[in-house]
Structure 1
Amino acid sequence: MATPQQQSIGGGGGATAAAAAAAAAAPKRKPVFTKVDQLKPGTGGHTLTVKVLSSKTVLQKGRPSVAAAGQIRPTKIAECLVGDETGTIIFTARNDQVDLMKPEATVILRNAKIDMFKGSMRLAVDKWGRIEVTDPATFVVKEDNNISLVEYELVNVVEE
């Protein structure tokens, strides 16, 4: 029979393996869908279903790719106006995302974040997020509430 000292020597790894197995077996939690009017500056992890109203390419240029020696990989950035039944916001689409953001398309933005650009909010999906084209939504977009038009100012509060 092993003494308590012998048991503790190799016992640490089993607990982490069991925890990892439990985490892998745990069911995925359902996404909580956010509405456009609930978005706030500096927040992230949002999942939204939105319609694309317009898409305008603001930057398109070729840049040398380090990974593929000597090949030119294009950089594309488009500003897309997207919205739901509560309001609209500008979504910044990059590279392959630009092709998905066609006007009239309905998309699900997963793990989207709010970036600030010149004091206004922009919605973006980085490498940790996902864009999925889905079935056309039934809602009517509220186009008169564009929250990207609201200008924010960073104020430092000095506590005395």
Structure 2
Amino acid sequence: MATQTRIEQESSSASASAGAGAKPGLRKPVFIKVDQLKPGTGGHTLTVKVLNFNTVLQKDRRSVSQHLRQTRIAECLIGDETGTIIFTARNDQVDLMKPGTTVILRNAKIDMFKGSMRLAVDKWGRVEVIEPAEFVVKEDNNLSLVEYELVNAAEE
């Protein structure tokens, strides 16, 4: 009987010390919808469908080590059931953004281009192709068509 109590005490103290010294786990991603995107924000996680794809730039350039590197930029219209926005895909992201594909954009940010919003994923984010989603894209609410103007607040 005394042996059981000692084992129980050791296991309970071991689990208590493991809980106290354990690192906190990863945060669960908060998925947002396209219509919740605002200018100048970042860190967004979205599940979207690719509607169309347009290559904007494709050129070869020499890097410091004289190897040819190809720079590719494409603008893709993406969306979910709340609206659409233009996504700027760079280099390897271009290969993933095929019309009809469903993707998860992690750590996406809003860039402003000529007064309108563009969604982008930089080196700290990730683009993942997933299985096709069941939602129907609302194509009549394109957030990239809204023009924003920077104004200075009047000081009083």
TM-score with structure 1 length normalisation? 0.83
Counterpart position of 2:90:
94
**Equivalences for residues 138-157 of structure 1 within 5 A:** 138-157=134-153
Q: 5+ unaligned residues in a row in structure 1: which ranges?
A: 1-20
Percent identity of paired positions between Structure 1 and Structure 2: 80
TM-score with structure 2 length normalisation? 0.85
Q: Does residue 54 in structure 1 map to residue 57 in structure 2? A: no
Separation in 1, partners of 2:26, 2:68 = 39
Separation in 1, partners of 2:132, 2:125 = 21
Give the CA deviation at 1:25.
2.1
Listed one character per residue, the Cα deviations across residues 109-136 of structure 1 (whole Å, up to 9, x for unaligned) are 0000000000000000001100000110
Separation in 1, partners of 2:48, 2:68 = 33
1:42 counterpart (40, 43, 47)? 40
1:78 counterpart (74, 80, 84)? 74
CA RMSD in angstroms, aligned pairs only: 1.2
Separation in 2, partners of 1:80, 1:132 = 15
Q: Which runs of 4+ in 1 moved over 2 A?
A: none
Counterpart position of 1:29:
27
Separation in 1, partners of 2:43, 2:111 = 12
Listed one character per residue, the Cα deviations across residues 69-119 of structure 1 (whole Å, up to 9, x for unaligned) are 211100000000000000000000000000010110000000000000000
Give the CA deviation at 1:158.
2.5
Secondary structure of 1:45's aligned partner: strand
Give the CA deviation at 1:29.
1.3
Q: 5+ unaligned residues in a row in structure 2: which ranges?
A: 1-19
Letter in 1 for 2:70: P
Separation in 2, partners of 1:159, 1:34 = 35
How many corresponding residue pairs? 137
**Equivalences for residues 96-115 of structure 1 within 5 A:** 96-115=92-111
Separation in 2, partners of 1:29, 1:123 = 23
